[in-house]
Structure 1
Amino acid sequence: KEIYEQPEALRQCISSRLDVKNGNGRLGGIHRSAKQLRKIPHVRLLGCGTALNAALIGQQLIERLARIPAVAHVSSEFRYQDPVVNPEALHFAVSQSGETMDTIAAIKEIQLKGGDVHGVVNVVGSTIARLCGQGVYIHSGPEQSVASTKAFSNMVAAMTIFALQIGRARQLSANEARVLAQGLKKVPELIEQYLANPGPIDEAVEMVLEAPSLLFLGRGLSANVAREGALKVMELTYIPCLAYPAGEMKHGPIALLEEGRPVVVVAPDDAVKEKVASAIHECKARGARIILVCTEGDELAKEADVAIEVPRTHPLCSPLLTVLPLQLLAYRTALALDLDVDRPRNLAKSVTVE
């Protein structure tokens, strides 16, 4: 149900925050003027699980559009690294529930060292929202399932809008920003289009059901979509999953490949697609079977055993489309295994302990 609520949830997130005409973002909870945004030395993002995967995408978007360093940190590790905190830097704490204990501890570490933090949360009035006192509500609506879907998409959308906002305050051209803003505005409609005809998900499920484990690959933004897909499948089906940047496959994961082993590859039509195609060829040469998420009409689909095509969008918006088949793959595989898709074992919606 929540997978299919994503178009409307995204509309709620972006509707009043996207200035398509001028190619800009307007996040009212970011209490920095354009002049102040130009002086930010770097951006840090904190998160756990799905929120971390969204933060990793945000990291790439901010660097790409604003041309300043951005780093996403695992919240549970952050304070134990005795981090150096620059009070002039911008910090984001990403959490659906706003109650994630590890992220709360990381926020306190930053505040103790003189920094301030913006919350990126869904639940209004949550601990992180109150502790930060500033930030962004992602407006995805109530999310009951433990495995997050629509909150992930809205976190990514919020990060995209912020990247636009800080990019325009710096040197991002109005034309480049306008094209991205137009692309982001169209995404809810494209998601509806895809969900109405999601392609051969059930064929992919049949391959996954036979697998002792799964390898997920992607490059660029799609490396983090692969991480999110692996997390979803593992959470809902209990099948061991590994996610790697496609270029890292030859540095270890290639040892797992054998005849018939499924490999899930996320490869939209972007600047690194040809590099991913090379990884696909390496997998096939070792007998692996390829489940490919690609852009509709792409010739790369011919290389796959199962190709799931998503509508074409702006390359920087691609995670919002390519994550959908992976969410459906996790959901339908869990149903085929007769598992509880809303309450997976050993998991909680809000992780309130360290």
Structure 2
Amino acid sequence: MAEPLIISIDVMGGDFGPSVTLAGADLELTRRPDLRYELFGDEAVVLPMLEQYPRVKAASRFHHCEVTVAMDEKPSSALRHGRWKSSMWRAIEAVKKGEAHFAVSAGNTGALMAMSKFCLRTMANIERPALAALWPNLKSESIVLDVGASIGADAQQLIGFAVMGAAMARALFHTDVASVGLLNVGVEDVKGNEEVRAAGQILKETALANLQYEGFVEGDDIGRGRVDVIVTEGFAGNIALKTAEGTAKQLTSYLRTALGRTWLTRIGYFLARGAFQGLREKMDPRKYNGGVFLGLNGIVIKSHGGTDAFGFAAALDLGYDMARNGLMSKIETDLAHYYREQAAISLAAGEKGS
């Protein structure tokens, strides 16, 4: 049997706090009995509720925390007042200390980002982390990053996102080589802004064993599943993500209205209910809940603040797969390979110029 995998959880995070995080942890234990938890939260709130989940209690160590980061708190304020004492900070710190394999929080995204970067620091040659999310498509799933960790990115940052996203795809999709595309306004080489074009040119010219660069992709290619990894900066990525979520809700509402309009449509729904159930499951955003901050010296998962126990368990499961499949070592190896290739190219160019 594999060694237990330990998750540190900010139990207080999210719109519903322990009522969802503990229930999600219990659900995940049914799928992953080799899990152990480090739980961080307010003992007055958490301990009575923990009694309702004896399986979680038996697999956990609880740590009392004096501070809970509010969902609307500014990151600077959370970092100033929540360090050392908040459930969010201490869950992240457990990863830094080697007491947990990864941390999960459904709390304030900005605060989680700021605390994670301050506590864990970024990896060598990575200036800013990226928030990477799973995205359902016609073939299966893909990874999109950045979906909102930061606004704007230069060519080198986009390339860093590409390398880290490819490593994540290898860890989750069990492939030796991940296909990568840069999100752009067209597939032609002359399209897009200067940084995107520069990143595309570098990726074309650099030989990377575990990354297959497929060129520019457009917005509709995300849903088609043309590549394993779609790379963009956080502003465009977040808009794309929110647009997709809104479109899914819009289509669901349209279907619900149309199928209940007449007795004939109700009969049609009854006859095709299996197909509609499959569609509902495919479009269920809870299955894809959880984004990971890539580029830190440790794994931190951001769960949607308004999710339920099923969705929170999905975020735990995402981290489980990445930790079990060596995400951090894959990122470190691939980044080192890329920068070695770049150094060799620069050296060759210098010798040619002299």
TM-score when scaled to structure 2?
0.28
Task: From the CA coordinates, give the structure whose radius of gyration is larger.
Answer: 2
TM-score when scaled to structure 1?
0.28
